[in-house]
Amino acid sequence: MHNKINKLLWIFVFFLLIFLALFILYNEKSDNLKAYEKRFYYMDSYIYIKLYTNTEEKAGDAFDKINLIYKKYHELADRNNGYPGLKNIYYIKNNNEENEYLEIDYKLYEILELGLLCNKKTNELFDIKLGNLTDVWFNYKNRLISKPTIDQIDKINIEEVVLKDGSILNNHPNIDLNGFIKGYTNNIVKNYLYSIGIDKFIINAGGNILVGKHYGDGKYIIGIEDPTKNDLSIFLKVLAVEKTIVTKGNYDSNMHDGDKTYINIVNPKTKILSDNFLSVTVISPNPIEADVISNILPLMKLEEALEFVESKKDVEAIFYISDDEQVMSSGFKEYLNK
């Protein structure tokens, strides 16, 4: 009799555990989620994040980790500040040691390797070594200097980035990672969130927008700002899930010169700013790819830019040429908010 009671008790406990497991699984997968929001400031941009999850504790732990990720990559890419013990971009630029090669942070080394690979894959339109050039145009944009002449621009020194076995050649290159550091970091944050079971989220890193799965059955609505107005007007809305949407454009009132309007991206071949479009918006499932492509399309003429986009799988773009003319790639219409 005693053995029979024990057996029944174990059967009860077994089914109770199964019930509890199914209950937890159901609650984790249900759409009864709450939204939690946080804002950080890194990489010269406010970074707005909204997570959809079941508990405040889980959201809080995720925000703590996300903050550390953005902080780490902000410091690695910082061109203007050094940090104790961190061999970052500033360290490379300002190091006066006589060693032939400098050992740098291994994460930064991986970023630089990717930057050089992107340079090759974009016919050298994407270039991380243009810090001396971007500094000059930054100073001009902020009216700290007069507009540089072609002769002055041609005399600006640009050192190659040479990597070897975790180290960089000590030739004081002025590296600028602004072209893809947000996309690179967003990709790390995305992978982290998926790894902890949070796949519904919105990240807006200074106009570099990344969305996960939708918290309901729909898609996120993302507004694209009108580059001809200064009042945050939206000229187009797109619908997306698990995509990155990046817009580069004339959103700075200082980027006008006579009848020309510039996008604050330096063409490494002409060494001047782009004036081909008022804005370009790129949509891609890959945050790094979206960032890189959004930096090179403004440097191309329209026909070349469209051909480039059409050659890429799952990449679409819209080009704002004027109030009367906006041109889309062939698959962009599927993202329109009809």
pLDDT in tens, 140-178: 888 888 888 989 999 999 999 999 999 999 988 999 999
Dihedral sign for Cα atoms in the order 39, 134, 224, 76: negative
Q: Which is nearest to 263 in space by CA: 295, 239, 289, 308?
A: 295
Torsion of CA 117, 122, 126, 128, to 10 degrees: 20
End-to-end Cα separation, the chain, in angstroms: 71
Q: How much is the pLDDT for 31?
A: 56
Q: How much is the pLDDT for 337?
A: 73
What lies within 8 Å, CB to CB, of 190 at 6+ separation is 203, 210, 212, 287
Tell me: the pLDDT tens digits for 212-232? Answer: 999 998 999 999 999 888 777
Global pTM value? 0.88
Is the Cβ–Cβ distance between 128 and 108 less than 8 Å? no
Instruction: Write the Ramachandran bin of 262: left for phi over 0, alpha for psi from -120 to 50, otherwise beta.
Output: beta
How big is the chain by its Cα radius of gyration, in Å?
24
Please state, for a pLDDT cut of 70, what percent of the chain lies above it: 88
List the strands of the sheet with 101-103, edge to edge: 101-103, 167-169, 163-164
Confidence band for 14, pLDDT divided at 50, 70 and 90: very low
Is the Cβ–Cβ distance between 262 and 255 less than 8 Å? yes
Whether the per-residue pLDDT at 77 is higher than 50: the answer is yes
Q: How much is the pLDDT for 141?
A: 82
Which of 255 and 161 is assigned the larger pLDDT?
A: 161
List the strands of the sheet with 45-53, edge to edge: 34-42, 45-53, 201-205, 208-211, 243-249, 279-284, 316-322, 325-328
Q: How much is the pLDDT for 338?
A: 66
